[in-house]
Structures are given as C-alpha cells and as structure tokens.
Chains A and B, each alone.
Chain A
Amino acid sequence: MSDQNPTLENSLAAVQGGDREAYRTVVAHSLPVVRAFVAGKSLPGMDVDDIVQRTFVEAYQSIGQYRLGSNFRAWILTIARYQVMMETTRLRRQADYLSRFLYVTVSRQMEKQMLADQDEDPRLELLKTCLEKVPTKGREVLRKRYETGMSNEEIASRLRRTVGAIRKELCMLRKKLRECVQQELDSMDHPRSQRNPDRGLT
C-alpha cells in the first residue's frame, strides 16, 4: 500500500535537508501504524513503545537512504520488523524466557508470521471494531483485566463473581474476539485469513 501523503513527503524532504524538527511531523504521522505493527508482532515480555521509539530513532539516522516519493510506510515497517527481530534474539538469550512465556513452536509460528507479513497489520483496528460488539458486561471484564492489569481473583472480588466464572468469561471473550477479527480479515481477503489454519472452529 502506498503512502504518498504530500505533507509527509514535504516533511521527509525537510528532514533530509537538515531540518530536524520536521521529523516530529513524520513521527506523529506514522506512529499509529508503526505501533499497531509492533504490537501485533512483538512477543510477550517485549516493551512495545521501546521498540517503536527505537524504530523512529533508527529511521531518522538512516533517513538519507529513503527515496523521496517511494513508500515511506513500507520503509519504516521494514525497520520496525528488524527491531522486533533484534529484540527477539535478545530475549531468546534470557533463561527460561520460552518456558515462562510461550513455547518454542509458538515462538517459531510468530516469527514466521512476522517474516511473512510485509505490510501493515490491520488487526489493531479490526480488534477495536470487534470490541465494540462485545456486551457491556464483557467489556467491563476486559477493561479490568487489560486497563488496570487486575488478576482474575481481583476482578472476581470487584465484580462479586467467582474466579472460575471470570476465568471462563475471559477465555470466551478472547475466543470470540479472535473469531471476529478472522471474519473481518476473511472479508478483506487479507493474507492472514488465507493462512488461518483452523477457520471454522466453533
């Protein structure tokens, strides 16, 4: 997908001409896409915003290599992919990382996907849309889990429900959200939908 935005291209030309402050416009413009890409590709234990920051610093330091008028989005996502891969290598050197967070096979799967996905990742936007379809009660559980980082036990105590019920609801919500995102990807004929191995799971 091309990203030929005249304001962005003007800012990029200004940065290449030595106007450092113009880079702020470039960052502000590309931040949502880069952040969504990194968040979707990063493994547990990685600091998404740290990788995003590295990506922009690296892009600035290599800005002379960007050809004006070409696809800046694709260019910066290549840098972001490289940053995620570097972080993966670093994390792999941490003892018990895989056994704690995920298994070798899952990690391989995520790395494979990362190498295969050459363009931006639409899942963050799709997930946002799918979240709007979740009933209020479910959204409250998700909000407590993801916004405030509460454990299942804490959520159960706050909502006066059993831990088992919260556990089950979170599991169901995650399943339904994934299905919803997959349906959206299918309707877009996105490459990720082609790769989905267990489409049709109930």
Chain B
Amino acid sequence: MKHLEDETSAELHELISGLLDDEVTAAQMDALSQLTEKNESAAQLAADLISQHRLLGVLHQLFDESALCDSVMQKIDSAESQVTDQIVATLPATPPSSFGAICNYVVAAMLLVMVAWWFSQSRSDSSIPRQPAAIATLILDVACVWQQDASFREGQRLSPQNLNLRSGTAVLRFDGGAELVMTGKSSLELVSGGRASLNYGNIVVRADVGPDGFALDTPASPLVDLGTEFAVKVEQTGATELHVLDGEVEYRDGSSANVLGAGAAIRFAGAKADAEPIELNAERYTEVIRRLNPQPQRDRMTLYEGFNYDLEGTLPLPMARRGIGWSGPWRLRTSSEMRISRPDFSPDQLHIVQGEINVAWPVPEGRGGMLKMPAGGAIYVRPMKRPIALDQAGVTYLSMMVRETERPQKRRNPPERIRVTFRSSEDFLGESICFGYGHQFRPHIRIGNGQIFASPVVAPAEQTTLWICKIVTREVGEDELFFRVYGEDDELGYAEPATWHAVSRDVELSAKLDRVLLSSTGDIDRIVDELRVGPTWRSVAPMSEKK
C-alpha cells in the first residue's frame, strides 16, 4: 500500500476538512477525487476522517436514550397491530349464525393474544405474505414473451426469482449497479443486488459501478466481474462461453481461479469441462441497445396536459378541459378539500403564456401554451379518469416541466414551494403522494402522513427543469417512490436513471389516487408545462426518436 507524503497528507487533511464543512469548490473536489483514487492510504485517511466526523456529531449532539427506547417500542406496537389487522381482516365479515359469530370472536381474541408471541418467535410459516425486498429493475422490455405466462412490466421492481424468457430482449438493472441484457430463450435466477445465476441463454453484463464485482454463476464456473463488460452464452447442455469485452473477469477452471482479460474468450464444453480459448464473438452492451433502438411510447400516456389552449392570457377554469385522461376541467379546491377553511388565494382562472420555458428536451408540444403559476400562490385540482390504485401492483411514471423565474436567496414566508400531488376523492386529506421542492429547493417526496424523503442536492436554479417521478405499487408490501429533477444540461437515457434525487423507504399505501393538484406558493412566478402520466419511462420521458 502506498504511503502518503507529508505534503500530500496535509493537502488531503485540508480538502477533507473542507468537504466536512461543506466548503470545497468543484476544483478541490476533483483534486480530492484524484488523490483518493490514486492512493488507498488517502482513501483510508478520508474514510477515517469522515467516520470521525460522524462520531463527533454523535458525541456532541443531545441524545435522549429513553426517547429512542420509547420509539422502538412504539414501532414494535405499530408493526404488531398491523399484523393483527391483517389477521382480523381474513375473518368472514358476516358470520352465518350467532354461534358462528361467537366462534369467530373467540378465534379473533386468541389470534390477538398470539400476535406478540408470533412476533417474538419470528415464525416462518406465517400465512401473512411478506414481500421479499426488490433487488433489480426491468428497465427495458422489447417484445418479451415470458414462459409459463409470467408477465413483467417495464419499470417493474424485481425480487429474487427465476426469470424465464421465451423470446424478445429484456434489460435489467441490479441495485448493486450492474446492467444485464437477456436475449432470446434464457433462464436467469436473480439472487441479490450483486449476484445472478444463468441456467441457460445469452446475456451481456455491464458492471462498471459499485464497490464489489457483480457475480454470475454458470453451470461451468462462477464468474466475477472486475470492473468490466462481458457476454456469456450457456447452452442447455451446460456448455458455457465467456467473452470479455472490457476489463477483466475472474473464473474458475477446475480448482484454480483465473482472470480473463478484455478481447479474450473461452468455452467450457460442459459443466465439468476445462476452459478452451475461442474467438471473441459477442456484441457490446451499447451495440445491443443501439440495435434495439428503444422508441418513445407517447401513445401509452394515460394522462396528459400540455396547456395548449391557443391563447395567451387568462382562461376561465371551466374551459380548462383539454388533454387526455381527465374526467373534468381544472378547478379550485372546495372547502372540504382544505385543511383550514379560509378563502382560497388562487386566481379563478388559468394564466396561459407562450414561449416562457426553455424546452431543452425533444418536446414539440412544449413550445405551445404553458401555465403560469402566479406570484402570491395558486392551487388547482383536476380529476383523473383512471386512478392510481396504490393497493394493486403497478408502475406509474410522471413527468412535468417546471421553470422558476428567479431563485430567492433568503427564506421567505410563505415558503417558496412548487409541488404536484396525487390525492383521493374518497379521502382527500388522507393518503397522498407529493413531489416537489420547498424553501431549500431540494427535491423531495412527501407522503400524506407527513413523511418526507428529501434529496441532499439542490435543484438547478433559474432554468427549466424536467421532473420525472416513479410510483411502484404493490398489493402487499412496501410501495416505492422515486423522484429526479433534470436540469437543462442533463440528457435523458433510453431507460430510467440508475440514481434518483429522492427515494422513499417503508411506505405502504392503499388509496386510489384520482385527483391531481398543482400548487405553487411564495413570491415568484413559476411556469409549468407538459404534465404526463404513463406506465413506462418511455411513455412520459421526452426521449428523442432515433431512426
């Protein structure tokens, strides 16, 4: 391990100290990056100082042990009562006779008493289904036909399971960072965010991110990427080919571990055969994607408002009824839709403007009309024809363009805020999902119960931004929400991004969200345009069409 010179060490201490105090410039960040990449001692020193910074925070900040104990006990209580509810819900709603009713109540009481014991024993044979955690995402589906009538949606989060593809091409992104293309008849077992097992078929893996190598088990050998791109072909007989397209791959040949470099390929004639060199013959990941040429799916949009009202000026709300997928025009909130009953500050018309947004992405419609949310604030509601059912498995994407006319430096009251929120007509003030940013201009996801998942990054200032949000719903288990804000210089890929600005955790919702709210508060004007909702990334993201 390379040791640090005194001079380097001093520079490193200064840079890291600056980083910990949020004072580093972009150039200093680059210098720090170079230092830590070149030298493991430097990375170690940085890791130590960052840990120490965290520990100093823990030592200096007030900590209430009994409050944390209480909070743990409350969490346990609440988890137990959820299980109780699930058990009670499985009992018949209308018992056939009074004797039956008594029996049910006795059974319910016994079950309630058993819940605590059930938890403490962590029973694995529970009848309450528990959803295993998702480890990958199906990011692209090109004419996929799955075996045994299985069906997967583009954008769907995948838990550990077998994927048996009959035909077509599927692109998966593992949570560990690796991306994998499956083509034609293939059988792949998803094991974890950094591991899979190929039973047969053709795949290409690109794994250039993540601290650990992506591991792929094959009948002939386990393969571990060492920062690389490789293709694997496994025949039904177990014969296996490995083609290294970039970097290196570790494999086993009998009992010895070997490394195969870029440009080389080997074949195992069977599961127990030795490796023989062969000619490299595999397409690169980017070539596969280019050949697939993923196209936008605008026809799959389920909800659209482009504010193309052929005018410049005010539009009475009852006339604001264009777009796709709506069951009524834009309107103000009713008194029952407000937490505090008071006169609405929103203008009772839409202010349509032209050409006030810089459309940096391929959105031809985005150059037409757009909605100005005026200084002083406005909140508008519009009913959707098809709700987002949070109690059913599904994937929903939303995109919207937003421009703030200026970025105030000081905190103001009312806060500078822009949001898009989904609510339910059945319980308007109940469960909801909101994407937006507040006074710190950090993108955040907000759930009806007040839970907020905020980004550490500030949204790009005084420019048009493109918001893309993803809602993954499940019948049972955790729902997942994602939010990313693109600046004018950011390019959109053919599939959803690997990283998002805000990601939810431990959210379980069940409402049917059928109302969209657009809200803007504070002292600055904001322009909103091209609100799109659809089932895939490609149905809402303004991707360019490549012929």
A interface vs B, CB < 8 Å?
A: 15-18, 20, 23-24, 27-28, 31, 35-36, 39-45, 48-49, 52-53, 56-57, 60-65, 89-90, 92-97, 99-113, 123-124, 127-128, 131, 142-143, 145-147, 151-152, 167, 170-171, 174-175, 177-178, 181, 195-198, 201-202
Contacts and interface: CB of A to CB of B under 8 A. Distances in A.
Contacts of B71: 53
A92 B177 contact: yes
Interface in B39-75: 40-41, 43-61, 63, 65-66, 68-69, 71-73, 75
A18 B116 contact: yes
Contact of B9 (A36, A44, A89, A198): A198
A171 B11 CA distance: 10
Interface in B203-257: 209-211
A65 B502 CA distance: 35
A60 B118 CA distance: 11
B96 to A, nearest CB: 33
A64 B503 contact: no
Given A18-B117, A31-B65, A97 B456 contact: yes
B17 A170 contact: yes
Listed residue (A42, A101, A106, A108) with the most chain B CB atoms within 10 angstroms of its CB: A106
A95 B120 contact: no
B37 A146 contact: no
Contact of A106 (B36, B52, B66): B36
B47 A171 contact: no
B439 interface: no
Contacts of A131: 59
B137 to A, nearest CB: 10
Listed residue (A99, A181, A198, A202) with the most chain B CB atoms within 10 angstroms of its CB: A198
B412 to A, nearest CB: 21
Contacts of A96: 456-457, 499, 501
Nearest to A127: B55
Contact of B47 (A39, A53, A109, A123): A109
| Ranked 4 nearest A-B pairs via Cβ | A146-B60, A197-B41, A64-B121, A171-B17
B159 to A, nearest CB: 14
A48 B49 contact: no
A109 B46 contact: yes
B484 interface: yes
A57 B500 contact: no
B76 A57 contact: yes
A74 B79 CA distance: 25
Contacts of B58: 35-36, 39, 48, 124
7 contacts: A18-B116, A20-B120, A44-B54, A97-B499, A103-B43, A146-B56, A197-B45
A13 to B, nearest CB: 11
Nearest to B32: A103
Contacts of B14: 171
A201 to B, nearest CB: 5
B13 A175 contact: yes
A151 B209 CA distance: 34
Nearest to A169: B17
Given A89-B193, A95-B500, A60 B56 contact: no
A170 B17 CA distance: 7
Contacts of B33: 103, 105
Given A94-B502, A171-B14, 14 more contacts: A27-B73, A39-B54, A52-B68, A92-B177, A95-B457, A99-B29, A128-B59, A145-B21, A146-B56, A167-B17, A167-B18, A174-B53, A197-B44, A198-B9
Contact of A127 (B50, B56, B120, B502): B56
Contacts of B345: none
B6 interface: yes
B60 A18 contact: no
B499 A198 contact: no
B52 A113 contact: no
Listed residue (B69, B75, B502) with the most chain A CB atoms within 10 angstroms of its CB: B69
Nearest to B57: A146
A181 B478 CA distance: 41
Nearest to B65: A31
A151 B45 CA distance: 23
B547 interface: no
Interface string B1-43: 1011010010001101111111100000100110011001101
A20 to B, nearest CB: 5
Contacts of B121: 16, 63-64
B455 A44 contact: no
A90 B51 CA distance: 19
B55 A123 contact: yes
A195 B177 CA distance: 28
A170 B21 contact: yes
A202 to B, nearest CB: 6
B263 interface: no
Contact of B72 (A56, A92, A128): A56
A145 B52 CA distance: 14
A109 B44 contact: yes
A152 B14 CA distance: 14
B176 interface: yes
A146 B17 contact: no
B69 A201 contact: no
B498 interface: yes
A198 B44 contact: yes
Nearest to B77: A20
Contacts of A95: 455, 457, 484, 497, 499-501
Nearest to A88: B211
Contacts of B46: 102-103, 106, 109
Contacts of B177: 92
Nearest to B114: A18
Listed residue (B20, B209, B498, B501) with the most chain A CB atoms within 10 angstroms of its CB: B20
Contacts of A93: 175, 498-500, 503
B211 A107 contact: yes
Given A90-B503, A106-B47, A16 B61 contact: no
